[in-house]
Amino acid sequence: MARSPQRDIPPHRSVPCYPVFGQATFDGPRESPLPCLLDRPGVILTASGRVATALALAGFGIGPGDRVLLPSYHCPTMVTPVLHVGATPIFYALDDNGAPCQASIEAQAADNRPRAIVVAHLFGIGLDLRELRTWCTKHAVVLIEDCAHALFGSVGGQPLGDSGDAAIGSLPKFLPLHEGGCLVFKRPPERRPALTRSGMLRQIKAAANLLEAGSRDSRLGVWSRPLQALFDLKQRLRRTAQYEDGGATPRDGSSHALAAPVTVAPPPPANAWMDEARLRTADMARLPTRVTRWLAARAHRERIVALRRARFAEYLAHVRNLEGVRAAVPILPAGSVPYVFPIVVEKPDQVFAALRTAGVPALRWDRRWPGTPARPEDVATRWSHALLQLPCHQDLDCCDMGHILAICRAAAA
């Protein structure tokens, strides 16, 4: 019988996918040593990063009949804002470093006459966009910087987000939040978004979600256990109510269960992942909740920058010794604050399955939007299969890091 690569790895709690709210959220100096998109003049907070992208496109009057250039390596949420405004996505190639291939952009532009281009600072590694900025100005193409992976950072002394006509960010990737994006316009758009406040129920739910996540991960000190007990009680009451509504447990308290037909849920359609990424119209006009805005302004940022860079350096030091695994970004630039640590793996299916089974929230962008060309010279063609994104946020501890590396070592062998 084949031996499971995880059999000799000790049990470990699930690794948090994103930052977790807790006492450490307010450790260290509040100001960050690198520029933050949230500090840009006129920043607009939105419901999410994809909403921010859609609002940026709409702000420049981009809509039905227009074409928008997008990177060939992407997640679905990078494409759906273009579809939401009625435009058509056109995909350009990336070079071996994940930067836009200028020749591919020019070729696509000659055939499609795009109104805008979206460029992503993938994994939090800042790109030098001076050449592309010059090209966009010459051809009257709107440049939107996707800083969803790069809320902090600079290149050549220039803050990320400063090259584009607009820049967007995603708050939960860097802050212990469950919602929120941001949008910055470099010049006044044709239409500035009109946003409205969330209702009281959503405000309360947002605060409760933060506290529940922090207590379950024991990040709230002495308050963790009583809060966890309170949220456990809430879950039990909710399950009881569901049983009563569904008829599995009679309301009169008797011990016998009511007979119910057994049903098998149909498998999700093959394109369910596309539908899940689509934007809801209601989100377009909704401001983040007050707790999101409060925490975005008050979370201490020096710790975020320092620990993310430290986690990345630790990954680099250990991955060099892993057979069948290499770092997709071999050097962390001085001005970059990583979102994830990207690895290229010889056995990606095996390693990805092992990580997810072990509770490690690794990411894999293997579902490219239909119509994305598979060009041999495009690194996205290889990355979509072989590249995995490992968590690299500030709330990982040494045990989390050791667990992740042990899984990779065992599964890649």
- DSSP labels for 344-385? EESSHHHHHHHHHHTT---B----PPTT----TT-HHHHHHH
Query: Is the model's pLDDT at 226 over the cut of 90?
Result: no
Is 289 within a domain? no
Query: Is the model's pLDDT at 263 over the cut of 50?
Result: no
Give the 3-state secondary structure of residue 165.
coil
Q: Which two tokens stand for residue 352?
A: 């990805």
**In the block, residue with structure tokens 């002394």:** 157
Residue 258 has what pLDDT? 37
Domain identity same for 180 and 309 = no
- Residue 413: pLDDT band with limits 50, 70, 90: confident
Residue 264 has what pLDDT? 47
Angle between helix axes 102-112 and 130-139 (nearest 10 degrees) is: 10
pLDDT in tens, 229-238: 887 777 777 7
pLDDT in tens, 318-330: 998 899 999 999 9
- The Cα–Cα gap between 311 and 154 comes to 19
Q: Which two tokens stand for residue 24?
A: 């450490």
Is 119 within a domain? yes
Amino acid of residue 245? D
Amino acid of residue 8? D
Q: Which two tokens stand for residue 261?
A: 């037909």
**In the block, residue with structure tokens 């630790």:** 314
- The Cα–Cα gap between 276 and 266 comes to 17
Q: Which helix (DSSP H) or strand (DSSP E) does residue 143 occupy?
A: strand 142-147
Q: 133: domain range?
A: 35-185
Instruction: Indicate the number of domains in the chain.
Output: 2
Q: Note whether 61 and 188 are within 8 A (CB).
A: no
Report residue 93: phi and psi, to 5°.
-85, 160
**Closest alpha carbon to 165 in 63, 61, 305:** 61
Residue 278 has what pLDDT? 83
- The Cα–Cα gap between 66 and 313 comes to 42
Report residue 43: phi and psi, to 5°.
-60, 140
Q: What is the CATH number of the domain that holds 171?
A: 3.40.640.10
Query: Is the model's pLDDT at 8 over the cut of 70?
Result: no
Report residue 98: phi and psi, to 5°.
85, 10
Instruction: Please report the sign of the dihedral spanned by the C-alpha atoms of residue 80, residue 81, residue 86, residue 89.
Output: negative
Query: Is the model's pLDDT at 143 over the cut of 90?
Result: yes
Is 190 within a domain? no
Is 196 within a domain? no
Is 64 within a domain? yes
- The Cα–Cα gap between 115 and 67 comes to 6
- The Cα–Cα gap between 365 and 380 comes to 10
pTM, full prediction: 0.88
Report residue 118: phi and psi, to 5°.
-110, 125
Is 28 within a domain? no
User: Last residue of some domain: 185, 220, 239?
Assistant: 185
User: Last residue of some domain: 157, 185, 213?
Assistant: 185
Residue 124 has what pLDDT? 98
Is 92 within a domain? yes
Can you tell me the mean pLDDT for 12-34? 89
Average pLDDT of every residue of the chain: 88
Is 362 within a domain? yes
User: Last residue of some domain: 134, 154, 185?
Assistant: 185
Share of the chain above pLDDT 70, in %: 89
Residue 111 has what pLDDT? 92
Q: What is the CATH number of the domain that holds 343?
A: 3.90.1150.10
**299-328 CB burial, b ≥16 within 10 A, e <16:** bebebbbbbbbebbebbeebbeebebbebb
